[in-house]
Amino acid sequence: MVPITTPSGEFRVWTKRVGTNPDIKVLLLHGGPGMTDELYESFDVWFPGAGIEYYYYDQLGSFRSDIPEDPSLWTLERFVDEVEQVRQALGLDASNFVLLGQSWGGLLAMEYAVHYQQHLKGLVVSNMMSSSKLYNDFANDVLMPTMDQDVLAELKKFEADGTTDDPRYEELLMEHHYVLHVCRMPLEQWPDPVLRSLSHVNPAIYVPMQGPSELGMSGSLEPWDRSGDLKDIDVPTLVIGAAHDTMDPEHMRWMSEQFPQGEFLLCPNGSHLAQYDDPEHYFPGLINFLNKL
C-alpha cells in the first residue's frame, strides 16, 4: 500500500510487483477511470517468461485501494500527481521506468508524459486516442451507424433519461457493442478478470469523468486533447491499436508518427481489450518493444 498525499488528506493505493528486472519495470495504468488492474491479469501469462518486472496498481478510488467519497479528488491533474507519487514510492526512474496505460490509463499515461517525461525510459499507449473529440467523432461517424438503429435509439433514450443503470441498458450494450468492440468473444466466454473488473467499477469516478454513455466521452474529460503535444514527448513510445476497437486504429497509427520515437502495433483480430481477444499479436509486439529498450 503506497501512501498518497492529496488536497483532501492522506490515502493509500494498492500495488503489487511481479518479477525482478533492474532495467525494465513496467507500471500498469488500468482503464476506467474507476476500474481495476484485474484487466491486466492476462499479462501473467506472457511477462514473467520474458523476464519483465511489472507492477499492478489500483488507482485511488478503485477496488483494493482506498475509496474516499470526495468528488473533488476525481480530476485528471490529481491522478497525474498520484502516478508521480507512486513512481517515487516504487523507486522507478529514467533508467528503468516504463509506463503502460490502456484506455483511460492510456490517456493518463500521455498526460503524465507531458508533465514528467524526464522520468521515463519508455511509454506504451494502448487502445486510446489523443483527443476526446476525435474519439466521439469516431463513435458517432463509424461505430454507431453499424449498429442496429432501433437498439441505438433505445440506448440513446436511456442516456437521455439518465437511466443507464437500468439492466436493460447494460444488456443491450453487451449484445450490440461490447462483444464486437470491447472483447470480441461470446459473453459466456469472457475471461473472469474482465468480468471481475467490470463488477468492481466505481461509478462515482467513472460517470463524472467519462460520462454515463458507453458510446463516447461526455464527462469532465470531454475537452481533453493532447494531439498537438505528442511531438514533444521524446521517449521511445509504442502505440497499440486494434482493428475492431472502440478507438480509431488509423488515428492511433497517426499518433505513433507524431511521437519522435514512436512505433505502432496493430492487433488485426483485436478490439478494446486486445490483450484478451488478440494476445497472439498484442504480447509479442509489446514484449519486442520492451526488449529493445
DSSP count for the chain of H helices, then E strands: 12, 8
Distances (CA, A) of 195 to 60, 178, 242, 272, 275: 20, 12, 21, 14, 14
Within 10 A of 59 (CB to CB), how many other CB atoms are there? 27
Distance CA 27, CA 101 (A): 8
- Active-site positions read 103, 245, 272
- At 262, give phi and psi (nearest 5°): -90, 150
d(CA 73, CA 83): 14
Measure the CA–CA gap between 101 and 143, rounded to whole angstroms. Answer: 23
| 262-267 and 122-126 strand pairing | unpaired
Distance of alpha carbon 264 from alpha carbon 157, whole angstroms: 38
User: Could you write out the DSSP letters of every residue in 170-234?
Assistant: HHHHIIIIIHHHTS-S-GGG--HHHHHHHHT--HHHHHHHH-S-SSS--STTTT-B-GGGGGG--
The dihedral of CA 163, 167, 171, 174: what is its sign?
positive
CB-CB contact of 114 with 90 (8 Å) = no
Q: Which cell numbers in the block locate residue 221? A: 474529460
* Torsion angle of the four alpha carbons 59, 243, 45, 178, in this order, in degrees rounded to the nearest 10: 60
Q: For residue 176, how many other CB atoms are within 10 A of its CB? A: 17
